[in-house]
Amino acid sequence: MTRFISAEQLHKTYYLGDDVEVPALRGVSLEVGKGEFVAIMGPSGSGKSTFMNLLGCLDIPTRGRLLLEDVELSSLTPNQLAEIRNRKIGFVFQNFNLLPRTSSLENVELPVLYSGADASKRHRLAVEALERVGLKGKIHNLSNQLSGGEQQRVAIARALVNNPSLILADEPTGNLDTQTSAEIMQILKELNDVYGITIILITHEADIARYARRQVFFRDGTIVHDQ
């Protein structure tokens, strides 16, 4: 397995005011190979979301090294980080985070828009992505006219529209019932199996974590268990 993500002694400290330090990560080291499906578990405040924000290029580490496909993330400019988010990473959030009062199609087109593709390519990619998550018939529905499960499918379509190598899912089933959760997890698993997309999944439900082949436990900003 080729090295895909490599974290070495990763630290992230938040500063509240002038002298209040909140250490969120205290020396996390982790290697993830290409095509892995990893579940990250742990109680609230254990640092798993912080770790994911760093991986997702939404934030930069205070100390330590973090490499994505051998690129050191902490040395990149905001524009370069935006570029990586756009081309290599897809996000799936617990609360879906779709643009309100906007159609599925336009929501899915958004990442393609920022990658600078022309209108016809944008449309084609978005329709393909929506077909892949089984929403072919609802491409013109507005986001607030969809059920929770459908909204999460739109979000997954948006995450994979630019053909990323990494999907970061932050409690993707947290707002869904068991049945729908299973469907969403099935889609993610398929993306991993069929397309070889590396998936990092944050959850605190054990049965959701079971979809992943590897489970990493966080506590107090460090990894306590990796299986």
Q: Where along the sequence are the contacts to another protein (CB under 8 A)?
A: 53, 56, 58-59, 78-79, 82-83, 85-87, 91, 93, 97-101, 110-111, 113-116, 158, 162
Of 31, 30, 37, 40, the C-alpha closest to 4 is 31
CB of 68 to another protein, least distance (A): 14
Q: At 13, phi and psi to the nearest 5?
A: -120, 130
Residue with tokens 């049945």: 179
CB of 47 to another protein, least distance (A): 14
SS (H, E, C) 32-57: EECCCEEEEECCCCCCHHHHHHHHCC
CB of 178 to another protein, least distance (A): 26
Q: Which is nearer to another protein, 198 or 209 (CB)?
A: 198
By the 10 Å C-beta count (0-12 exposed, 13-18 middle, 19+ buried), 181 is classed as: buried
Q: Which is nearer to another protein, 59 or 205 (CB)?
A: 59
Q: Which is nearer to another protein, 78 or 137 (CB)?
A: 78
CB of 213 to another protein, least distance (A): 26
Answer for the pair 156, 75: CB distance below 8 angstroms, yes or no: no
Q: Which is nearer to another protein, 153 or 209 (CB)?
A: 153
Q: Which is nearer to another protein, 143 or 211 (CB)?
A: 143
Q: Name residue 203's amino acid.
A: T
CB of 107 to another protein, least distance (A): 9
Of 102, 168, 112, 157, the C-alpha closest to 133 is 157
Q: How far is CA 49 from the centre of its chain?
A: 10
